[in-house]
Amino acid sequence: MTTGLTVALAILIFVVVTIAKGVRLVPQGEEWIVERLGKYLGTLRPGLNILIPYLDNVSYKLVTKDIILDVQEQEVITRDNAVILTNAIAFVKVTDPVKAVYGVTDFSEAIRNLIMTTLRSIVGEMELDEALSSRDKIKARLRESIADEAVDWGLTVKSVEIQDIKPSQSMQRAMELQAAAERERKAMVTKAEGEKQAAILEAEARLEAAKRDANAQVMLAEASAESIRRVSSSIGDQTTPMLYLLGEKYISAMEKLSESGNAKVVVLPADLQETLRGLVGKAGLKG
């Protein structure tokens, strides 16, 4: 009795296992690769599928939904020998499960490494400023470059996004020093330009003042000459008016001299008229 129960239980287990191996339910968003005796047999689509137990085996289960692949951060050297840090994220989809399984050992790792090497190649052709400002251009070239390889592996690269692209810490310090030096240079240029303009304006002001002084002196000289001419024309050969004018000037000069703080004693000639006559006489002799 016990032996019969054991046999029945064994048969029941065998039947359950056989049914489990022969009947497979594939969920939506997946495709399964089936091998028969180690050789590819077919691909199971979502839904109910029947296999031959013990001969057919589900070797691979692939997700056909969009797969997100995170590409780790890496150092990239630009054409002008600057070091920048960049990472990316890729959205791929398995379109041919057979190629994805048998075309490459690990398609996720393959795509990830392909993106890394291609990204280094693209950025290496650019200079630092271009690389930092051309994210969309890098993304487009990156997707175009890996598209053909992805097709050979049964994949479709739907999008590649550059998550971050920035100078390394050493480059950031160097750029900060360069920016500070550039600001200082511009400040010095601005200061020098200001001093130059100030010097030019000062020189122009001095020149204008000198011209005005010269014009004023010329005008004063012309006025004096005209005054002398008119006085000479009015006096003629008469000496009395001349003596009168000279006397006024002489007395005025003596008054100013007497008002000076340094002057203590003012001595006037005893015969002022004869003195003036002597001045007129000397002036006449010089003429």
Query: Measuring CA to CA, which residue among 248, 103, 92, 84 is closest to residue 174?
Result: 84
Q: Are 25 and 60 in contact (CB under 8 A)?
A: no
For 59, list phi and psi in degrees, rounded to 5: -90, -35
Adjacent-strand bridge partners of 57: 35
**pLDDT at site 8:** 77
- Six-digit token pair at 263? 């002057």
Res. 62 pLDDT band, cuts 50 70 90: very high
Question: Is 255 a residue whose pLDDT tops 80?
Answer: no
Q: In what order do the strands lie in the sheet with 30-36?
A: 39-44, 30-36, 56-63
- Six-digit token pair at 114? 């392909």
Query: Measuring CA to CA, which residue among 62, 119, 65 is closest to residue 89?
Result: 119
Question: Is 2 a residue whose pLDDT tops 70?
Answer: yes
**pLDDT at site 176:** 66
Residue 158 is classified by DSSP as E
Question: Is 249 a residue whose pLDDT tops 80?
Answer: no
Adjacent-strand bridge partners of 156: 93
99-117 pLDDT tens trace = 999 988 888 999 999 999 9
Question: Is 276 a residue whose pLDDT tops 60?
Answer: no
Would you call 65 helix, strand, or coil by DSSP? Answer: coil
- Six-digit token pair at 258? 């007497």
Q: Which residue has the higher pLDDT, 99 or 217?
A: 99
Q: Which of 133-137, 155-159, 181-185, 262-266 has the lowest mean pLDDT?
A: 262-266
39-50 pLDDT tens trace = 999 999 999 988
Question: Is 275 a residue whose pLDDT tops 70?
Answer: no
- Six-digit token pair at 52? 């031959």
* Contact partners, residue 56, CB within 8 Å, separation at least 6: 21, 34, 35, 36, 41
**pLDDT at site 94:** 92
What is the rounded distance in angstroms from the CA atom of residue 157 to the CA atom of residue 107?
A: 12
Question: Is 286 a residue whose pLDDT tops 80?
Answer: no
Instruction: Tell me if the pTM is above 0.85.
Output: no
Give the CA distances from residue 27 to residues 16, 91, 165, in Å, rounded to whole numbers and listed in that order: 21, 21, 39
**pLDDT at site 235:** 62
What is the rounded distance in angstroms from the CA atom of residue 169 to the CA atom of residue 85?
A: 9
Adjacent-strand bridge partners of 69: 90
